[in-house]
Amino acid sequence: AQSVTQLDSQVPVFEEAPVELRCNYSSSVSVYLFWYVQYPNQGLQLLLKYLSGSTLVESINGFEAEFNKSQTSFHLRKPSVHISDTAEYFCAVSLNTGFQKLVFGTGTRLLVSP
Amino acid sequence: SQTIHQWPATLVQPVGSPLSLECTVEGTSNPNLYWYRQAAGRGLQLLFYSVGIGQISSEVPQNLSASRPQDRQFILSSKKLLLSDSGFYLCAWATEKGYNEQFFGPGTRLTVL
């Protein structure tokens, strides 16, 4: 079965600094990969996804993630964060065959301070 | 466009009382539906999923149950709540065919006292 590891439970950064949120997965077969963001007391919103093709995927608000098959990673990056990026970020994986469930990591809380 | 609704938004219930949380999806047909629970400071735990009317799969044995009486309606229930049932409950849907990209509702905050 597949699994997802987000080693950092909390990442504090200053506004306009770069940030990387780490995600590693375990699977013996090909997967789809997702990053979700959750603002306080809200549901999860899809931030970006890797399905196939280019290993670098981008979101509309400046985040990007790179699929690295050899390292089984899908780290999330942003070159310059804003206060409004403060939220919980979840990495998720599913197998790419038929009906599959999403397996989520435990989440990383990004805290952006002025 | 598709939208997903959950109600109520917040709920405070005494231990031993019943529970009914509702989730409805608009703008799509034959969705796969999911119930998750998010405990304070923890990740998401998949509770139930459904691939069609009346078809429910349980992921974790507990005192909760789920039902899908209509194509786009998913209900989470309990006959007697426990303190440990407190948490943030999220409903999600995904297309019947596709990449299992899930779309989440706004959630219900349940506090059991």
A85: phi then psi, degrees, rounded to nearest 5: -80, -5
Q: How far is the C-alpha of B79 from the C-alpha of A39, rounded, in Å?
A: 31
Per residue in B15-29, pLDDT (tens digit) is 999 999 999 999 999
Closest chain B residue by Cα to residue A105? B43
Q: What mean pLDDT do residues B52-62 have?
A: 88
User: DSSP states of A52-93 as a string?
Assistant: SS-SEEE-TTS-EEEEETTTTEEEEEESS--GGG-EEEEEEE
Beta-carbon contacts of A70 under 8 Å, excluding residues fewer than 6 positions away, are none
Strand partners, B94: B32
Q: Which of residues 79-108 of A touch B (CB under 8 A)?
A: 90, 94, 96, 99-102, 104-107
Contact A74, A91 (CB under 8 A): yes
A21-25, B87-91, B98-102 — which is least confidently predicted? B98-102
Name the 3-class secondary structure at A95.
strand
Q: How far is the C-alpha of A83 from the C-alpha of B104, rounded, in Å?
A: 24
> What confidence score (pLDDT) does residue B74 get?
97
> What confidence score (pLDDT) does residue B36 get?
94
Judge whether B104 is closer than 8 Å to chain A, CB to CB: yes
Judge whether A42 is closer than 8 Å to chain B, CB to CB: yes
Of the partner residues B44, B90, B101, the one whose CB lies closest to the CB of residue A49: B101
Contact A81, A19 (CB under 8 A): yes
* pLDDT tens, per residue, chain A with 114 residues: 778 999 899 999 999 999 999 999 998 788 899 999 999 888 999 999 998 888 899 998 899 999 999 999 999 999 999 999 999 999 999 877 666 788 899 999 999 999
Judge whether B11 is closer than 8 Å to chain A, CB to CB: no
Confidence of residue B35 (pLDDT cuts 50, 70, 90): very high
Q: How far is the C-alpha of B53 from the C-alpha of A3, rounded, in Å?
A: 29
Mean pLDDT of chain B: 92
